[in-house]
Every structure is written in C-alpha cells, then in structure tokens.
Amino acid sequence: MSASRPKLLVVDDEPQIHRFLGPALDAAGYEPIRAMTGEEALRLAATRHPALILLDLGLPDIDGQQLIPKLRAFLAAPIVVVSARGQEDEKVAALDAGADDYVEKPFALAELLARIRVALRRAALGEATPEETVLAVGPLTIDLPRRQARLDDDPPLHLTPREWSLLVTLARARGRVLTQQQLLTAVWGPAQAEEAQYLRVYVGHLRQKLGRAAGLLRTEPGVGYRFAE
C-alpha cells in the first residue's frame, strides 16, 4: 500500500464490518487499519497516526463513549462514530466527548465516504484561527474585524450581538455538528447550558435574517446544529 494514502483506523469488533469496509476504503484511496478492541485502537492510534478514526461504540473491552476522550487526550484526527446506537442522548454524548460526526448503522457507503471526505477536508483546512479575518461559506461572507455579515453584494445583515456570536460560532465549525449544550455554553455561557429554548429562538431569528442562505444552517434533530461547508 502506498504510504501517501490517508490511514483510516476502523475500530469495530464485527469481522463482517472490516470485510466490507476494508476493500471499500481501499478502493476509495484510503489505507484501512483494523482494530477489534478499544485497547488495540489506542495502541494503533498512537503508533500508526491515522488521519481519521471510524469508531463503533459497542466494543468488548471499553465502551466507545469512554474511548473517545482517551483518544482525544493525544489525537487531533477526526473521529467519526459509526454505531447502531441511534438514540439522541448517545449522539449528543459522543459529540460532547469529542467526536466530529455520527453515522448510524446500517449506513449507505456513499454517505459514509462523503462524511469521511468532509471530516478530512476540515482537518486539512483547520479551524478558523484568530488571524483568519474573513469566513466565506456559499453566498455568505463574514467579516470578523468589521463584525459584518453579508450575502453576495447585498448590504450587511442587521444582527444583534447574540445573533452575531451564534453565527460566527457555527461558521467557524462549518461542516461539524455542534450540540445544543456546546452552542449555549459558547454563546450564552455555562449558566445557560441547559436553556435549549434560547437556542431554538435565536436559530429561528438567524435563519430569517440569512434569507436565501438559511439552508446553510442545518438542524440535527435532538442533537444540535451544523453549518454547511
């Protein structure tokens, strides 16, 4: 296998998943690495330096929810959870623990490959840094120093300070799901981390003001929101 291909660590205790995903990832241009347990995943993540991890939550030795923060302690690579656990609280817990995305089993291969591409692209681009002064997402341009957002050549949008903060937080994490608690903590502070109604109201206002770009702000039901790339 070519060393130049991105390494993808597949952590799953089901042999049939590896038999299916291994050839599919190889054909898509990746180098799949197999791990059947959490301990094996930690060892391979530390020694093989994967570009991305596909993680099942139902592992025989350690629950995947507990494995995510252990991986995050030393690994910055994206973690995409691929699990049969479809409950909202499971998704929220995984994302809050440090996962970048969540795909339910059974999954469509094309969708999984698309999620992988998005996660790798975001990792390559990196998060918006303080030095990044302009964020451009589709027709929307966000000028951070001027605190202005506009659609194409339209006049700047009239945003309240809270709406502006919410927009910037979402846009900086473009392509990634942010949970309700993450957004509430970032925009309103830890004391309001459980006030989901605040968030729903402001997201509604923000969508109205975004107008033809409202589709950029996508709802992940029961989990949070994702700003499109």
Q: What are 40-78's pLDDT values in tens digits?
A: 999 999 888 899 999 999 999 999 999 998 888 788 888
Band (145; pLDDT cuts 50, 70, 90): confident
Band (10; pLDDT cuts 50, 70, 90): very high
**Averaged pLDDT, 97-111:** 88
Residue 7 has pLDDT above 90, yes or no: yes
Contact (CB, 8 A) for 87 and 223: no
Output the pLDDT for position 193: 65
pTM of the full predicted structure? 0.64
What whole-number distance in Å separates Cα of residue 84 and Cα of residue 42? 22
Nearest to 99 by CA among 129, 60, 55, 58: 55
